[in-house]
Structure 1
Amino acid sequence: MTAAAQRTADAAVRQLDMTGTYLNYLWVSGAVILIICLLLWWGWRGRKRRQGDLPAPGDVPAEVLEAEPAAAAEGMVIGTVSASDYLDRIAVHQLGLRTGGRLEVHEAGVAVFRAGSANFLIPADDLHHVRTDRGVVGKFVERDGAIIIGWSLGGYEVETAFRPRHAAEAQRLLDVLHPRTGENPTS
């Protein structure tokens, strides 16, 4: 065997040896990713168990579906969080999911329509406050880019965040929501 052929054979053997090393890296990386996914699932399941006493929000009644809203906007329903902590997402009843949607203000309350998730109504009696902010867990936007609606869900204080597509719609929602919560919009 010539020297050149020997070098080629040695290089091929080294390359085969590296294949085993790379496969080991692949298996370790796959195991780490699997463990992280399992921990995420376990944490989400634990969060749902801890929040299991939260009642499901009411469905949007037929009379609200047929009525003309006082104000409405298309945009993104960012999700619902605990009012005391904007990083504590509500996991039960799919309230914490971020979806596209529509917000409508009616006499009966605020109807939240979500793509791919159950729609719900925030009753007018349960509304506490409305404000603008940068967002909540899952989505942060420009200053005052998200409308935050504070309300009671079975005695538990929560906030639902919504980001309208157009600023004019956001202002109209705020103008209609502030009097319904008993707030002065200039404060």
Structure 2
Amino acid sequence: MTTLSSLSSLTHPVAGHLVGLAAEQKSQDVTDWAARVGWVVGLLLVIALVYWLMREGWKWRATIQGDLPELPQAPDPAELGPARLHLSGRYHGSTTAGQWLDRIVAQGLGTRSRAELTLTEQGLAVVRPGASDFFIPAASLRGARLDKGIAGKVLTEGGLLVITWQLGDRLIDSGFRSDHAAEHTAWVDALTELSGGPSEAAATSHDTEGAR
């Protein structure tokens, strides 16, 4: 009887200790999950805030660029004449000429997309699946150059075909990249010839040091 009493007295503290450890572990698990959920919720709120600020910035730019005329549309194919050059690639955006970070978003020019470019004696036709097509008449072309960045997008040196053109009172740089970058030089030559020579803005590449 004495032995049983001794064992019982020893067992109770051990059992109590184990129960305490289990309760402590459970409490710790609950605390960890609460911290994780709080961290995830905080991260989602930050992402939502950044997205909202970007959207408001986009809307603000569109508002202050509201005086930009509608984009010209290509004439009937029969009036365009034979194609001098054709390019398949991507449209990377447009900016005020000479200011590679001053992005233009009005009239759909802020939407990056695939693009099909066709150059004729009448001008440049830009077809963009899922975005607004537009046409740059030959009289509105101001030149072209090779560059590496536009509208915050940075590529390899010479990896971007930048076309300078006039829309209303605004001089615009539009950036394109061919699926075959070796074509860019021929495009610069043809556009420069068609425009009557590069303008000062078209001839100037820009320092993109520190860009992301």
State whether TM-score is above 0.5: yes
Larger Rg: 2
Asked whether the 8 Å contact 2:69–2:168 carries over to 1, the reply is yes
What does residue 7 of structure 1 align with?
21
Identity of aligned residues (%): 29
Confirm whether residue 92 of structure 1 aligns to residue 106 of structure 2: yes
Note the residue ranges of structure 2 that are not aligned, 5 or more in a row: 1-14, 204-212
What does residue 174 of structure 1 align with?
188
Asked whether the 8 Å contact 1:72–1:173 carries over to 2, the reply is no
Q: Matches of 1:65 and 1:114 in 2, distance apart?
A: 20
Q: Secondary structure at the match of 1:2?
A: helix
What does residue 41 of structure 2 align with?
27
What does residue 47 of structure 1 align with?
61
Equivalent residue pairs, number:
185
Asked whether the 8 Å contact 1:64–1:108 carries over to 2, the reply is no
Q: Secondary structure at the match of 2:110?
A: coil
Confirm whether residue 139 of structure 1 aligns to residue 135 of structure 2: no
Q: Matches of 2:35 and 2:187 in 1, distance apart?
A: 59
Distance 1:93 1:162, change over 3 A: same
Q: Secondary structure at the match of 1:60?
A: coil
Confirm whether residue 106 of structure 1 aligns to residue 92 of structure 2: no
What does residue 32 of structure 2 align with?
18
What does residue 9 of structure 2 align with?
none
Could you tell me the TM-score, scaled by structure 2's length? 0.80
Q: Matches of 2:157 and 2:43 in 1, distance apart?
A: 39
Alignment-mate amino acid for residue 30 of structure 2? L
Note the residue ranges of structure 1 that are not aligned, 5 or more in a row: none
How far 1:17 sits from its partner (Å)?
2.5
Superposition map of 1:61-80 within 5 A: 61-63=75-77, 67-80=81-94
Question: Which protein is richer in strand relative to its size?
Answer: 1
Alignment-mate amino acid for residue 137 of structure 2? P
Q: Deviations over 1:122-146 (max 9, x none)?
A: 1111111111111212432221111
